[in-house]
Amino acid sequence: VRPHHGCGTRTHRMITKGSIVLAMAGTASAFQMGSSFTPKMGGAELTAVKASSSSGPTMAAVPCGINGFGRIGRLVARIMIKDPETNLLHVNAGSATPDYMAYQFKYDSIHGRFDGTTVVDGDDLVIDGNRIVTTRARDPKDIGWDKTGVEYLCESTGVFLTEESAKAHVDSGVKKVIFSAPAKDDSLTVVMGVNQDEYKGQTNYVSCASCTTNGLAPMVKAINDAFTIEEGLMTTIHAMTATQAVVDSSSRKDWRGGRAASGNIIPSSTGAAKAVAKVIPAVKGKLTGMAFRVPTIDVSVVDLTCKLKKATTYEEICKEIQKRANGDMKGFLGYTDEPLVSTDFQTEATSSTFDAGAGIMLNPTFVKCVAWYDNEWGYSTRVKDLMVHMAKVDAKMAKK
């Protein structure tokens, strides 16, 4: 059973005449995890809760665009469409035709059929009544963001990950570019729920880090705040991704990485643990890690084994994590004491869900903690959240 992600309502002109209807509104099942599983709340449902608890002024929907329509780009689009705080205006998809984009958007092997309507109207997509311009340009200066009013851009091609390379987006009318990957320069890195307050409108280019950094950093923050991490090693058991080969192929850069993802456990490198220091400077030089790529198609899990400065018990760690998951880190850090497995976290919007039953402790200062994350949906939700957060900060700064 998959979780239901709430649907925001907007008033738009529906396109019916001369259109190809590719999807009809579907129904999603309600998801019930159990009282001990704190987060299970995704998409617009989480947004609505945040909006209702916010003391700030109501802001118009953020005018958004997406460059790149791969795994992350498509999921960010799904999340934006259902979120009343975002208005998706324009998607640049490289070479994909509008009808193929609609097909890719509607059907997903992990996250299921899109719960809504998808219509092709010329070069445009009309999704749940929202008209979205699509283009197929390789060079950012040829995309035409200024013509469609895009102000906040999800850069998800994996190509334009520096201020220098992404500047063409800003020159074409975009206000801010959000990288859905680690930056390849010293651009500001933000992990929502951890260091979002560092963004004060000072830059036009912000990285949302990686899915694994988002899966690790919230747990690291909660543990470090309470007990101080002296040193630690992280291992992520990571689902397959599109960069891997289905059957044995070739990779001169990474010989093991060229082997069949569908039939092997493949040791790999990752900079995710070291990257946590970009958002939590207190752990700089204290964390590193590695990855095992495994033959599952979504959901990953981090194993953090660390030495603590402050002696404690495993029960106290669990209590602290649960307190933060129900408090200031709700929606970013989750907690479960149920005996769950990876598929239970498919389409889970929470960045990092601490598994109380999976961790172990050797002594009062040496502990192994485990957290699950949907490396696709959870991360894509954070990309959207970061775009909305930046827009709110920018609006506040503009009033000063």
Which pLDDT score is estimated for 27?
A: 31
DSSP state of 99: H
Which pLDDT score is estimated for 297?
A: 96
Give the tokens for residue 152.
């906040």
Could you identify the residue written with the tokens 């950012």?
Answer: 140
Give the tokens for residue 201.
């409108």
Alpha-carbon distance of 379 to 72, in angstroms, equals 8
Q: Is 47 helix (H, G, I), strand (E, B) or coil?
A: helix
Catalytic pick from 7, 64, 211, 369? 211
Which pLDDT score is estimated for 193?
A: 98
Question: pLDDT of the chain along its 400 residues, tens only?
Answer: 333 333 333 333 333 323 333 333 333 333 233 334 544 444 444 444 344 434 344 579 999 999 999 999 999 999 999 999 999 999 999 889 999 999 999 999 999 999 999 999 999 999 999 999 999 999 999 999 999 999 999 999 999 999 999 999 999 999 999 999 999 999 999 999 999 999 999 999 999 999 999 999 999 999 999 999 999 999 999 999 999 999 999 999 999 999 999 999 999 999 999 999 999 999 999 999 999 999 999 999 999 999 999 999 999 999 999 999 999 999 999 999 999 999 999 999 999 999 999 999 999 999 999 999 999 999 999 999 999 999 999 999 998 8
pTM tops 0.85: yes
Please measure the distance between the N-terminal and C-terminal CA atoms of the chain and give it in whole angstroms. Answer: 47
Which pLDDT score is estimated for 58?
A: 56
**211 annotated active-site:** yes
